[in-house]
Amino acid sequence: MTHALVDSYMTLWSASFGAPPTGPASHRQAAWDRPSIDVTKDDLQSAVTDPHQKATFLAATAPHSGDWLNALLIASWGLRLDDESVRVAVALRLGLGVCVPHSCSCGDDVVVDAWGQHAFVCKRALGRTQWHQALNDVIARSFASAGILVSKESIDRHLL
């Protein structure tokens, strides 16, 4: 015996999304939610016209874009972010401003916008040298473990 409310819902759902889930999938909430989520996502994506917002939306909805939130917090492996790094990562993911617009001290008369993206390319950005050195160390250790002789350049010549 079916209930009138269930019949009404099934008719409405079918009119909106097509045939309802059947078989084992019919017992999973995700199978019922996915069509509505996809329609909402498509509506939101088509409504976004600003290129920055569109890029943020596409990055946030890309497969595995939130996997970094599941990383184990192991400081000795470099897998622990300080509070400021988390703040910036979340703000960038959500398309929020990370700083107050200002003139950059790099001398190129660059005005840094609220998203602070100039810091990713500025040769005087805080942290850039440390990340460059850390990446060079990882690469050098990889080569050394493979038995390849490694010689690293000075960072000062390269970035400043």
pLDDT greater than 70 at residue 148: yes
Q: Identify the pLDDT of residue 154.
A: 59
Beta-sheet strands, E only, within 40-107: 102-103
Report, as an integer, the average pLDDT of 1-26: 86
pLDDT tens for 54-96 read 888 888 888 888 887 887 888 777 777 788 888 888 887 788 8
Residue at 36: amino acid letter: S
Residue 100 CA: distances (Å) to CA of 89, 92, 119, 136 = 16, 14, 13, 32
Mean pLDDT of all residues belonging to the chain: 81
Query: CA–CA separation, 59 vs 65, rounded Å?
Result: 7
- Which pairs from 112-120 meet CB under 8 Å and 24+ separation? 115/52, 116/88
Query: CA–CA separation, 49 vs 52, rounded Å?
Result: 9
Which tokens is 4 given? 């009138």
Give the model's confidence band at 131: pLDDT under 50 very low, under 70 low, under 90 confident, else very high.
low
% of the chain at pLDDT higher than 70: 88
Q: Are 52 and 115 in contact (CB under 8 A)?
A: yes
Q: Identify the pLDDT of residue 159.
A: 44
Q: Identify the pLDDT of residue 29.
A: 92
pLDDT greater than 80 at residue 123: no
pLDDT tens for 95-113 read 888 888 888 887 768 888 8
**What is the gyration radius of the CA atoms in the chain, in angstroms?**
24
Q: Identify the pLDDT of residue 78.
A: 73
Q: Identify the pLDDT of residue 132.
A: 66
φ/ψ of 112, rounded to 5, equals -80, 125
Q: Identify the pLDDT of residue 113.
A: 85
Higher pLDDT, 121 or 51: 51
pLDDT greater than 70 at residue 1: no
Question: Does the predicted TM-score (pTM) go above 0.85?
Answer: no
